[in-house]
Structure 1
Amino acid sequence: MHHRNIVKLSKRMSLALRHAPDRFGLLLERGGWVPVDEFLAALGISRAELDTVVAGDDKQRYTVQCGTDGIERVRANQGHSVPVDLLLVAQPPPRWLYHGTSAAALDSIRATGLNRARRHHVHLSADTDTARRVGSRRAGPVIVLTVDAKAMADDGHLFYRSANGVWLTDAVPAQYLNAGDMD
């Protein structure tokens, strides 16, 4: 598959597994899982195409796993805008986490903090390089915000870690944020 086709298919998979499974006739099972055979049929793709996208995704957005019932299933690791319980368990975060975003959003973020918008959680990175890569998807200069995750946890905020290492929380109030370097 050409890179452009892989990106296009990854976006369709994201739509099917994170935002509009009903548009593809899919029903997310507990944990956000969909049987692979149903998924392939719904998207009209081959297993090789699925495996190419899953293996080649630099953000490891998707997981394929065989259940105790012997059925292989696929899911998006996070970023859902449809109701789903990913069965994540709260865990203590590292001292600092990071969030990359557009510098144009900084005033709003300083006023209201980081909010999940239409998604289930705010996504945070364990390192500044990853946060900068994530933030570069936005237009304009990138800023990396430092989140005082330990203080948040000490104050009762819960954190979860998805299968691909992304840290998730419901919101990050402004008092826990520090603006970092701008690109």
Structure 2
Amino acid sequence: MRAAQGHSIDIDLALQSIEPPDVLFHGTASANLNSIFEMGIHSAKRQYVHLSPDEKTALKVGSRHGKAIVLKINTRQMFKEGLKFFKADNGVWLTNHILPKYIDF
């Protein structure tokens, strides 16, 4: 088995930092919104925060955790401010942490 996104095991995925699209999406449960808009999105027990390239995929991911909501992430601004992004082999985008100022509906 090969880890593509760095879930709960801390391993070197040998990914190179690359420029992301201007916007990526994060699917989550609506119950998490207060925490997200207060503290941002953290990787929790994973190595990275996972982002989807489209809203449909993010909605599917978010629905695994309760009533789903899709958040737009201003990845263009994050990248301009020096934050790093990685793209896993399966198309999932990864980053370390997303501050509330980069998050919108």
* TM-score normalised per structure 2: 0.96
Q: Quick check: 1:105 aligned with 2:32?
A: yes
Residue pairs, 1:26-45, within 5 angstroms: none
In structure 1, distance between residues paired with 2:3 and 2:32? 27
Q: Percent identity?
A: 44
User: Aligned match of 2:76 in 150, 162, 167?
Assistant: 150
Aligned pair in 2 of structure 1 residues 79, 86: CA closer, same or farther (>3 Å)? closer
Letter of the structure 2 residue corresponding to residue 96 of structure 1? V
Structure 2 equivalent of residue 168 of structure 1: 94
More helix per residue: 1 or 2? 1
Structure 2 equivalent of residue 13 of structure 1: none
In structure 2, distance between residues paired with 1:100 and 1:114? 11
User: Aligned match of 2:49 in 86, 109, 122?
Assistant: 122
The structure that has the greater radius of gyration is 1
Q: Quick check: 1:159 aligned with 2:102?
A: no
In structure 1, distance between residues paired with 2:37 and 2:10? 28
Letter of the structure 2 residue corresponding to residue 163 of structure 1? D
Q: How far 1:78 moved relative to its partner?
A: 1.2
1:151-182 deviations in Å (ceiling 9; x for gaps): 00000000000000000000011100002xxx
1:11-33 deviations in Å (ceiling 9; x for gaps): xxxxxxxxxxxxxxxxxxxxxxx
Structure 2 equivalent of residue 83 of structure 1: 10
Structure of higher RCO (CA pairs closer than 8 Å, 6+ residues apart): 2
1:96-131 deviations in Å (ceiling 9; x for gaps): 000011111101100001000111100000000000
- The alignment partner of 1:76 has SS state of coil
Aligned length: 105
* TM-score normalised per structure 1: 0.56
In structure 2, distance between residues paired with 1:108 and 1:116? 13
Unaligned runs of 5+ in 1: 1-73
In structure 1, distance between residues paired with 2:9 and 2:89? 19
